């Protein structure tokens, strides 16, 4: 049975099903108990599972991340909610030096089966320290897996896969997606980590998009379809490990590549995708330079017009893709 859920509800359902299935799974974070989470993702889970499994923690991001690592080493499966992905910067030591490296450093003798959830992205007027997209930072670290589901369906299935995973999985959730709706099966299903999804088939240009930019790219594609430009949209879904094969196949078909993402453009995920195509057999198929549409070289501003200007928007994506396909600059 499938029914419509919001992205936030899909997360909550995955968390509940994971906790029902495995007593080792527990949630930790700031204000995730009776408050229900800053974005109401955990909602009333504390009433269903109790305070021991939906744990409100002190405002100690570094400490919480370390507690998650230690609990994971000792047999638990912690799912840690950061109130904003920006606060990962407070916990980088534990994420990058400990969670990501312990298995490797100890010669494969341990696993660190934890999940960290990061509400990310701009568009809420929360300004520079509550709106960043730092997914590519963490995707740079071997030992971490980084996912960015864009639909309620993928969110539930990938979160359940993340909780099953024996390695640390970082989940980036765009805040503007929380209220978006989609069909979600009731049962506990898995969507594999590391597999991209072709969200729209097309033949003139390949767009590799992440998170909310998948929806913006699909919207742009509809407009361009009316002009006879047929856009293929790939939802990358996982930043690390990246599904390069799906992108290569698509570019060989369309001969054009655009990368659309909210994180800062320079040294972002678009650079990596472009490089992988440049290094692959798809390079010979390219009929045009690769286009990157990423976040501005600035922090996220407060003013709503500036805030919109700081990340790719549908009109800009339409223009960029149109120029890419028609050869105009």
Partner 1 sequence: MKTPKTAKANARPFYQKHSAAELKEALRKMYLIRRFEEGAEEAYMRGLIHGTMHLSIGQEASAVGSTMALRNTDYITSTHRGHGHCIGKGADPKLMFAEFFGKEEGYCRGRGGSMHIADVATGNLGANGIVGGGLPIAVGAALAIKKQKRDDVAMCFFGDGASNEGAFHEALNMASVWKLPVVFVCENNKYGMSVSTERSMSVKNVADRAPAYGMPAVIVDGNSIADVAEAIEAATEHARKGGGPTLVECKTYRTRGHSRSDRNRYRTKEEIEDWKARDPIPHFEAELIAHGLASADEVTAIRVAAEAEIAAGIEFARLGTDPDPTEVTRDVYSPEAA
Residues belonging to the active site: 61, 130
- Which one among 10, 16, 68, 95 touches partner 1, defined by CB under 8 A? 68
Which is nearer to partner 1, 26 or 178 (by Cβ)?
26
Q: How far is the CB of 111 from partner 1 (least distance, A)?
A: 6
Q: Does 51 bind partner 1 (CB under 8 A)?
A: no
Rounded to 5°, angle at Cα 277 from 272 and 280:
125
* Binding track, positions 147-186, relative to partner 1; x by CB under 8 A: -----------------x-xx-------------------
129 binds partner 1 (CB under 8 A): no
**Is 107 near partner 1 (CB under 8 A)?**
yes
Residue 65 lies near partner 1 (rule: CB under 8 A): yes
- Return the residue of 3, 75, 187, 328 that touches partner 1, per CB under 8 A: 75
* Residue in 32, 67, 95, 324 binding partner 1, rule: CB under 8 A: 67
Residue in 31, 40, 66, 89 binding partner 1, rule: CB under 8 A = 66
Cα dihedral 37, 42, 45, 50, rounded to 10, equals: -50
Does residue 288 bind partner 1 (CB under 8 A)?
Answer: no
Site for partner 1 in 81-100 (CB under 8 A): 93-94, 97-98
DSSP state at residue 83:
S
The answer to the question of residue 327 lying near partner 1 (CB under 8 A) is no
108 binds partner 1 (CB under 8 A): yes
Residue 50 touches partner 1, criterion: CB under 8 A: no
Per CB under 8 A, the segment of 35-43, 51-59, 178-186, 295-303 that binds partner 1 is 51-59
Position among 29, 33, 43, 143 found at the interface with partner 1 (CB under 8 A): 143
Does position 76 interact with partner 1 (CB under 8 A)? The reply is yes
Choose, by CB under 8 A, the member of 70, 185, 299, 316 that binds partner 1: 70
In three-state form (DSSP H/G/I as H, E/B as E, the rest C), the secondary structure along the chain is CEEEEEHHHHHHHHHHHHHHHCCCEEEEECCCCCCCCCCCCCCCHHHHHCCCCEEECCCCHHHHHHHHHHHHHCCCEEEEECCCHHHHHHHHHHHHHHHCCHHHHCCCCCCCCCEEEEEECCCCCCCCCCCCCCHHHHHCCCCCEEECCCCHHHHHHHHHHHHHCCCCEEEEEEHHHCCCEEEEECCCCCCCCCCCEEEECCCCEEEEECCHHHHHHHHHHHHHHHCCCCEEEEECCEEECCCHHHHHHHHHHHCCEEEEEEEECCCCHHHHHHHHHHCCHHHHHCCCCCEEEEECCCCCCCCHHHHHHCCCCHHHHHHHHHHHHHCCC
Verify binding: residue 25, partner 1, rule CB under 8 A. no
CA distances from 68 to 31, 34, 144, 160, 192 (A): 17, 21, 14, 17, 23
> For partner 1, which is the closer residue by CB, 7 or 87?
87
| Eight-class DSSP state of 186 | S
Using CB under 8 A as the binding rule, whether residue 328 contacts partner 1 is answered as: no
Pick between residue 52 and residue 284 the one whose CB is nearest to partner 1: 52
Out of 52, 187, 284, 297, the only residue in the binding site for partner 1 (CB under 8 A) is: 52
CA dist., res. 153 & res. 64, Å (int): 29
| Residue where the block lists tokens 């407009």 | 223
Residue number, 37 or 78, with CB nearest to partner 1? 78
What residue ranges bind partner 1 (CB under 8 A)?
26, 52, 57-58, 60, 62-76, 78, 93-94, 97-98, 102-111, 142-143, 145, 164, 166-167
């Amino acid at each position: 049975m499938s029914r419509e859920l919001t992205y936030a509800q899909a997360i909550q359902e995955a968390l509940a099903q994971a906790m029902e299935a495995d007593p080792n799974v527990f949630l930790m974070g700031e204000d995730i108990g009776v408050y229900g989470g800053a974005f109401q993702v955990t909602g009333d889970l504390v009433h269903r599972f109790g305070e021991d499994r939906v744990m409100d923690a002190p405002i100690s991001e570094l400490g919480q991340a370390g507690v998650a690592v230690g609990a994971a080493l000792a047999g638990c499966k912690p799912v840690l909610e950061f109130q904003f992905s920006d606060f990962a910067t407070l916990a980088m030591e534990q994420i990058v030096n400990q969670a990501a490296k312990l298995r490797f450093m100890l010669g494969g003798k341990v696993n660190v089966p934890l999940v960290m959830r990061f509400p990310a992205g701009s568009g809420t007027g929360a300004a520079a320290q509550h709106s960043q997209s730092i997914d590519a930072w963490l995707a740079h670290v071997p030992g971490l897996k980084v996912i960015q589901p864009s639909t309620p369906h993928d969110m539930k299935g990938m979160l359940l896969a993340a909780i099953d995973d024996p390695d640390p999985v970082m989940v980036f959730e765009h805040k503007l997606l929380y209220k978006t709706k989609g069909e979600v099966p009731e049962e506990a299903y898995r969507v594999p980590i590391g597999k991209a999804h072709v969200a729209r088939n097309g033949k003139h240009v390949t767009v590799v998009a992440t998170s909310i930019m998948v929806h913006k790219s699909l919207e742009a594609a509809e407009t361009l379809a009316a002009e006879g430009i047929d856009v293929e949209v790939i939802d990358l879904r996982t930043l690390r490990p990246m599904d390069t094969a799906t992108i290569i196949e698509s570019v060989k078909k369309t001969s054009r590549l655009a990368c659309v993402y909210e994180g800062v453009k320079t040294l972002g995920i678009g650079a990596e995708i472009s490089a992988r195509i440049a290094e692959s057999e798809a390079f010979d198929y390219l009929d045009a330079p690769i286009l990157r549409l990423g976040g501005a070289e600035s922090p996220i501003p407060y003013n709503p017009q500036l805030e919109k200007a700081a990340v790719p928007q549908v009109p800009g994506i339409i223009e960029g893709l149109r120029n890419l396909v028609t050869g105009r600059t």
